[in-house]
Chain A
Amino acid sequence: GAGVSQSPSNKVTEKGKDVELRCDPISGHTALYWYRQRLGQGLEFLIYFQGNSAPDKSGLPSDRFSAERTGESVSTLTIQRTQQEDSAVYLCASSWDRGRGGYTFGSGTRLTVV
């Protein structure tokens, strides 16, 4: 597509439930990032995929968080047993290179855990 597409745009879930967030990057973009943006704060790195290389998972805050990406296609971020502190906007970005030209961001998924 023309841009990075994320779904759902908004998600309200009950504490303890699992959620799955989807990112559809720009076609041909080999690099894909997930970031988290809590209200009034900066962006927190979560995970990075580059082509078929092993992902950089160093930013995942706990083992409740996981992400997958098949090749250079769609990525899903899964949060198990959600907690209230997981409430944030989850942003996905993709790039055709390692990011030195800049990334294109999706509009994000606003997750609210009640």
Chain B
Amino acid sequence: GNSVTQMEGPVTLSEEAFLTINCTYTATGYPSLFWYVQYPGEGLQLLLKATKADDKGSNKGFEATYRKETTSFHLEKGSVQVSDSAVYFCALTPNTGNQFYFGTGTSLTVIP
């Protein structure tokens, strides 16, 4: 079946620290992979995506590489800011079928 497992939070970092949020997946075929971000009081926003193996998605200083050999799509940022405080969701959609599968979310708090 299809599923997403992501690192449990909450995660608290100091400003300018390095961020990694782990995400691994199980899927049939070749899914597309996504990171969504939910800022406090707002809806989910697409942060970045990758549609095939070895693709790197990037946006706002965040990066994630689609690793088929390790079935992973870890989110990284070299220097976090207070404004990055949010909940981050890893997600996949298979190349067949309808459903969009989300991880449980990882809450990130960045302190000055």
What is A's interface to B at a CB cutoff of 8 Å? 4, 33, 35, 41-43, 45, 48, 50, 56, 58-59, 91, 93, 98-108
Q: Which residues of B contact A (CB under 8 A)?
A: 32, 34, 36, 42-46, 49, 51, 89, 93, 95, 98-105
Closest CB in chain B relative to A52 CB, distance in Å: 14
Give the A-B pair count, Cβ closer than 8 A. 52
Question: Which residue of the partner chain, among B43, B49, B95, B98, contacts A102 with CB atoms under 8 Å?
Answer: B49
Q: How far is the CB of B55 from chain A (nearest CB, A)?
A: 12
Across the interface, do A100 and B98 meet the contact criterion of CB distance under 8 Å? no
Q: List 21 A-B contacts (CB under 8 A).
A: A42-B89, A42-B105, A43-B89, A43-B102, A48-B100, A56-B99, A58-B99, A59-B99, A91-B43, A93-B44, A98-B93, A98-B98, A99-B32, A100-B95, A101-B49, A102-B49, A104-B46, A105-B36, A105-B44, A105-B45, A107-B43
CB-defined contacts of B101 to chain A, threshold 8 Å: 45
Q: How far is the CB of A108 from chain B (nearest CB, A)?
A: 6
| B95: A residues at CB distance < 8 A | 100
User: Do residues A105 and B99 form an inter-chain contact, with CB atoms below 8 A?
Assistant: no
- Chain A residues with Cβ below 8 Å from B45 are 105
* Bound-complex Cα distance A55 to B42 (A): 27
Cα A93 to Cα B43 with chains together (Å): 10
Query: Contacts A48-B98, A48-B99, A100-B95; is A41 near B104 (CB within 8 Å)?
Result: yes
- Interchain CB contact under 8 A, A45 and B99: yes
Q: Which 9 residue pairs spanning A and B have beta carbons closest together?
A: A42-B104, A107-B43, A105-B44, A102-B46, A43-B102, A56-B98, A48-B98, A100-B32, A105-B43
